[in-house]
Homo-oligomer: A and B are copies of this chain.
Amino acid sequence: MWIETKTEVEKASRTRASFSRRVLNGLLLCSGDMEHLDKYMKDKSFVLQLVVCGLRAVTRVILANNPLSGGLILAALYWASPWQGLLGTLGVLASTLTAVITGQDSAEVAGGLHGFNGMLVSLLMGEFSSAGDWYWWLLLPVFLGSATCVFLFSGLSSFLDRWDLPAAVFPFNIIIILYLLCTGPEHPYFPHHSVKPPGALEPNATELIALQVIRGIPLGVGQIFACGDLGPSLLILGAVFLYSPLLAVHALLGSAVGTLTGLSMAVRHESLYSGLSGFNGALGCMTVGGLFFTFSLWTHLFAIASAFFSAYADIALSNLMGTVGLPASSWAATLVATLMLLLTGSLAAYRIPIGQVRAPERNLRSRSQWEAGNTEERESTDV
């Protein structure tokens, strides 16, 4: 991509193209996986490399991989709550540094694969804490929990590698459950809110407000980062759009499907309004619609099915785990996405090997190249 776009830039300057074209080229350079940045970063200082891989890790949470999007998302988090922003930053750094120290594969670390689980753990620890913002003792579990994610990510990757499956956010889901189980709502050091299951009965339920429900759809995208404010959520959606418009569309679509699912199962209004009904659907939809599968009408339909399944499974798991006061976080979407990657039949034909996954727009192109490569290889061995 680097070479292509460079020649494009050169052509543009030679032909004295208009300003708007230059802006577009700049945007194209900033969108997608920005792999050209990796070559540029190679001889830079460790701190700068850490910043870039940290920003990549921030976007990995929402299945993107772009440092600029990462900056935007981080800005959104600081906008919503500076304390949450700080926790998220510390989480990314703690887990990325742990990965460096424990000798994880450096390409994986540079790609931000060892940071996003730590970030999620930190954000959710802050979100569930009932000790209020700026409760500095919380940094202890934040550091420990983020660091432990690296162990889980590495171990689970070895395990799932047999089926070419990613460890995804399983480490985050495991660690946050263990943390909440360790502490409990009345804990003397780290108290946290108890979670109300979405299926809990509301004694004095009011009418459902349609506008609030629709507002919940973009909030569902923000809830992937445990962010419940509209402005920051839209900024996060914008950051995803910068990485890949297709992914952003699927995020919104999945969140809408999740909200619809919530309505069909008559969940608590609070669940719908806050976007909590939508975020598992969004994640389930994004995974299938373009990221791990080449985009096509067929994958698009499967993405919608995946969103529905994720959202229903989330209601079920939330009700189950709610009986002991635990949240289902993104267990449902992670499990359903893993299932989708295992599927045989017509969807499997569109499956992209984990190592070759790029932005949906690139996947489309790289797949054709990769298939062409495969055919060539086959031909060469035939000869």
Contact = CB atoms under 8 A, between A and B. Distances in A.
Given A187-B266, A188-B266, A181 B319 contact: yes
A343 B320 CA distance: 31
Interface residues of A, number: 54
B184 A347 contact: no
B182 A312 contact: yes
Interface in A289-317: 305, 308-309, 312-313, 315-317
A3 to B, nearest CB: 33
B183 A265 contact: yes
A136 B54 CA distance: 53
A184 B339 CA distance: 25
Contact of A182 (B157, B159, B177, B319): B319
Contacts of A343: 102, 151, 154-155, 158
A340 B155 contact: yes
Contacts of A186: 201
Nearest to A179: B316
Interface string A182-208: 111011110000000001010000000
A156 interface: yes
A158 B148 contact: no
A344 B266 contact: no
Contacts of A151: 305, 309, 339-340, 343
Interface in A104-154: 104-105, 144, 148, 151-152, 154
Given A163-B158, A324-B323, A346 B102 contact: yes
A355 interface: no
Contacts of A354: none
A286 B90 CA distance: 31
A316 B175 CA distance: 10
A317 B103 contact: no
Interface in A324-377: 324, 338-340, 342-347
A344 B184 CA distance: 33
User: Of A155, A157, A183, A317, which is in contact with the most chain B CB atoms at under 10 Å from its CB?
Assistant: A155
A162 interface: yes
A28 interface: no
Contacts of A158: 163, 342-344
Interface string A258-285: 0000001110000000000000000000
A178 interface: yes
Nearest to A313: B178
B345 A154 contact: yes
B159 A187 contact: no
B266 A345 contact: no
A154 B346 CA distance: 11
A81 B346 CA distance: 37
A317 B179 CA distance: 10
Contacts of A339: 151-152, 155-156
A321 B14 CA distance: 70
A328 to B, nearest CB: 10
Nearest to A261: B182
A45 to B, nearest CB: 23
A316 B102 contact: no
Nearest to A267: B182
Interface of A: 99, 102-105, 144, 148, 151-152, 154-159, 162-163, 177-179, 181-184, 186-189, 199, 201, 264-266, 305, 308-309, 312-313, 315-317, 319-320, 323-324, 338-340, 342-347
8 contacts: A151-B305, A155-B338, A156-B339, A178-B312, A181-B315, A182-B312, A182-B319, A323-B324
